[in-house]
Chains A and B, each alone.
Chain A
Amino acid sequence: MRRTLLFLVLFACSAAWAGAQHGSPDAAKRLEMLAENRTTIEILLDRGLDLAGTSDYVERVDESRKAADALRQALADAADTQDPDRVVELGEHLSKLFSDGLVPTLNAAAKNIPEWSPSFDRLKAARRQAAREADSATALDLHAGRLAASGRVKDVSQQLVEAAGKVKAAAEPKK
C-alpha cells in the first residue's frame, strides 16, 4: 500500500515537472525572452497606443502595418538564426496580426474613405505599402537549414502565406 502511494506521488511529481517544462518558463528563461523581445514589444505597445489615439482610418492602417512590420523583422532575424521555436512563435503572431489587425483596418478604411475623399490618395499609398510588406513576409526563407526539418515551421509558413494573401486581397482597390 505504502509502495503504491509512493509510486503515485513520484508519478505525479514527474508529471508536474514535465508539464512545467513547457507550461510556464522559469525566471531565467523569461528574462532571456524579455531581453530578446524588448524592442518588438515596445514597438507593438507604441503602435497599439497610437491606434487607441486616432480615428483616422488611414493612420489606423499605417499603425497596424507598422506593428506587423516589427514582427516581420523579428521573424526575419529568427529565420537567420535558424531558431525553429522562435520562427513558429513569431510566425503565428504575424499571421494573427495580419488577419485580425491589418485586414480589419484596411477593410474599415475601404468602407469609410470614398474615392473622392482627400484621404483616398493616402489610402492608396497605405494599401501599396501593406501589400509590399505582406509580400516581404512570404518571401522570408523559412525552409532553409534546420528550419526545413520542422513540421511546425512548415505549418506556420503556410499559415503566413494565407494571412498575407488576405492582406493583399484587402489592399486591392475596391470596385
Chain B
Amino acid sequence: MTCDVSRNRLLALPDLTRLTDDLRAHLAACEACTAWLVRAKQLDLSLVNLPAPNSDDAKTAFLESLAADGPIIRTIPRSDRTQAFSFVALARRLDWRVVSGLAASVAVGVGIWGLSGPGKKVAEVAGPKHELLAQSVDFVTSMSTATNPQDRTRLSMTMAGDLRDEVKELYTVAKAEDLNKLADLYERVVKRGLIGQSRELARIPVQERHALWREVQAHLAAVVQDASEMQAKAPPPALPSLAKIKKAALDGQAVVNNLIANGRG
C-alpha cells in the first residue's frame, strides 16, 4: 500500500481511532504516515472544539418574515400560451390517416369480438371441392335424363373436355399412374360416349347431325393439338398417357371424318 492510498483511506474513515488491519500494518512500518495520522487526529479534535456562532437573531428575523401580513404569493408565474393543452391544436396536428386507420382497426376488433363472443358459433369455412368429381356426378346425373343421341353426344363432349382440362392442369406434376387413369377415362369417354353417340346421330335430321359432328370433330382436333403441345413439355413418365389421349382423339377424328363424308363411321 502506498502512502497516498493509506492517507486517502484514513480520510475516508468515520473514526480515526478505529483503524483497519491493513492500515495498521502500513502505519507500523511508515513513520511519515504515523505522523500524518497524529496531525489528522489533532485537526479533528480542534474542529470539534471550535465555538459555533450565535444564530438566534437570524432565526427570529426569518420567522417574523414568514408570519408577516400580505400575500403569500408575491409574483404570478407566467405561462407560455402556445404550450398550453388544446384539443383544437391537437386535432389540427394529428394525421387523419393514422386516426382513421386506428378507428378502422378498433371497429374491426370490436366486430370480431362481437361475432365471436360466447354463445356465438364461429362460421364454418368450406374446404376445396374436387371439380372432376363434381363434373362426373353431373355427367351421370344428366345421362340419367338424356334420352336422345344429340344430348348424349353433347354430354360426352363436355365430359371429354373436362378430362382433357384435368390432364392439362396436372400433366407436369401428376404421377404416371394417375395420369394414365385420366388417359384411360378419356379414351373410354371418346370411344363409348362421343363416337358411340356420334354414330347414333345418323338417325336425326341431316343439318343437325352434321352440325354436331363438326363440333365433335373440332373438339377432337383441339385435343390432338393440346396433346402435341403437352408432349413437347411433359416429363418422360407423362408421355405414354399423353400419347394414349392423342391416339384416342385421332382415332375418333377418323371415325367422325367418315361420318361427315359418308354418313357412316
Query: Please, which residues of chain A bring their CB within 8 A of the CB of B193?
Result: 48-49, 52
Whether the Cβ atoms of B128 and A151 lie closer than 8 Å is no
Whether the Cβ atoms of A88 and B126 lie closer than 8 Å is yes
The reply to whether the CB of B129 lies closer than 8 angstroms to some CB of chain A is yes
Q: Which of B127, B141, B169 has the most CB of A within 10 A?
A: B141
Q: Which positions 1-44 of chain A face chain B at CB distance < 8 Å?
A: 3-4, 22, 24-25, 27-31, 33-38, 40-42, 44
If A85-B127, A100-B141 touch, whether A42 touches B174 (CB-CB below 8 Å) is: no
Contact of B188 among A3, A46, A60, A84 (CB under 8 A): A46
Query: Please, which residues of chain B bring their CB within 8 A of the CB of A30?
Result: 130, 166, 169-170
- In the bound assembly, the distance between CA atoms of A93 and B135 in angstroms comes to 10
Whether the Cβ atoms of B137 and A96 lie closer than 8 Å is yes
Whether the Cβ atoms of A45 and B124 lie closer than 8 Å is no
Whether the Cβ atoms of B178 and A42 lie closer than 8 Å is no
Whether the Cβ atoms of B137 and A49 lie closer than 8 Å is no
Whether the Cβ atoms of A41 and B185 lie closer than 8 Å is yes
Whether the Cβ atoms of A27 and B173 lie closer than 8 Å is yes
Query: Please, which residues of chain B bring their CB within 8 A of the CB of A67?
Result: 140
The reply to whether the CB of B253 lies closer than 8 angstroms to some CB of chain A is no
Say which size band chain A's interface belongs to: 35 or more
Contact of A33 among B133, B144, B196 (CB under 8 A): B133
Query: Please, which residues of chain B bring their CB within 8 A of the CB of A128?
Result: none
Whether the Cβ atoms of B144 and A64 lie closer than 8 Å is yes
Query: Please, which residues of chain A bring their CB within 8 A of the CB of B121?
Result: 151
Which among A101-109, A114-122, A129-137 touches the partner chain?
Answer: A101-109
Nearest-neighbour CB distance to chain B for A4, whole angstroms, equals 8
Whether the Cβ atoms of A37 and B133 lie closer than 8 Å is yes
> What are 21 sample pairs from A and B whose C-beta atoms fall under 8 A apart?
A27-B169, A30-B130, A30-B170, A31-B174, A34-B132, A34-B174, A51-B140, A51-B146, A52-B146, A52-B155, A52-B197, A53-B192, A63-B144, A64-B140, A88-B126, A93-B137, A97-B137, A100-B141, A151-B124, A152-B124, A152-B126
- In the bound assembly, the distance between CA atoms of A25 and B170 in angstroms comes to 12
Query: Please, which residues of chain B bring their CB within 8 A of the CB of A24?
Result: 128
The reply to whether the CB of B189 lies closer than 8 angstroms to some CB of chain A is yes
Whether the Cβ atoms of A38 and B137 lie closer than 8 Å is no
- In the bound assembly, the distance between CA atoms of A67 and B140 in angstroms comes to 7
The reply to whether the CB of A47 lies closer than 8 angstroms to some CB of chain B is yes
The reply to whether the CB of A150 lies closer than 8 angstroms to some CB of chain B is yes
- In the bound assembly, the distance between CA atoms of A71 and B130 in angstroms comes to 14
Whether the Cβ atoms of A47 and B126 lie closer than 8 Å is no
Whether the Cβ atoms of B170 and A34 lie closer than 8 Å is yes
Query: Please, which residues of chain B bring their CB within 8 A of the CB of A53?
Result: 192, 196
- In the bound assembly, the distance between CA atoms of A71 and B136 in angstroms comes to 11
Nearest opposing residue in chain B for A98, CB measure: B141
Whether the Cβ atoms of A101 and B144 lie closer than 8 Å is yes
Q: Nearest 7 pairs between A and B by C-beta?
A: A85-B127, A25-B128, A101-B144, A48-B140, A33-B130, A51-B143, A44-B136
The reply to whether the CB of B47 lies closer than 8 angstroms to some CB of chain A is no
Query: Please, which residues of chain B bring their CB within 8 A of the CB of A141?
Result: none
If A42-B185, A71-B137 touch, whether A31 touches B126 (CB-CB below 8 Å) is: no
Nearest-neighbour CB distance to chain A for B103, whole angstroms, equals 15
Query: Please, which residues of chain A bring their CB within 8 A of the CB of B136?
Result: 40-41, 44-45, 48
Whether the Cβ atoms of B152 and A52 lie closer than 8 Å is yes
- In the bound assembly, the distance between CA atoms of A4 and B181 in angstroms comes to 51
Q: Which positions 58-106 of chain A face chain B at CB distance < 8 Å?
A: 60, 63-64, 67, 71, 84-86, 88-89, 93, 96-97, 100-102, 104-105
Nearest-neighbour CB distance to chain A for B170, whole angstroms, equals 6
The reply to whether the CB of B159 lies closer than 8 angstroms to some CB of chain A is yes
- In the bound assembly, the distance between CA atoms of A89 and B130 in angstroms comes to 8
Query: Please, which residues of chain B bring their CB within 8 A of the CB of A105?
Result: 144-145
Nearest opposing residue in chain A for B129, CB measure: A89
Known: A85-B127, A97-B140. 13 other contacts (CB 8 A): A3-B97, A22-B126, A33-B128, A34-B174, A38-B178, A41-B132, A42-B181, A44-B133, A49-B156, A49-B192, A104-B144, A152-B124, A152-B126
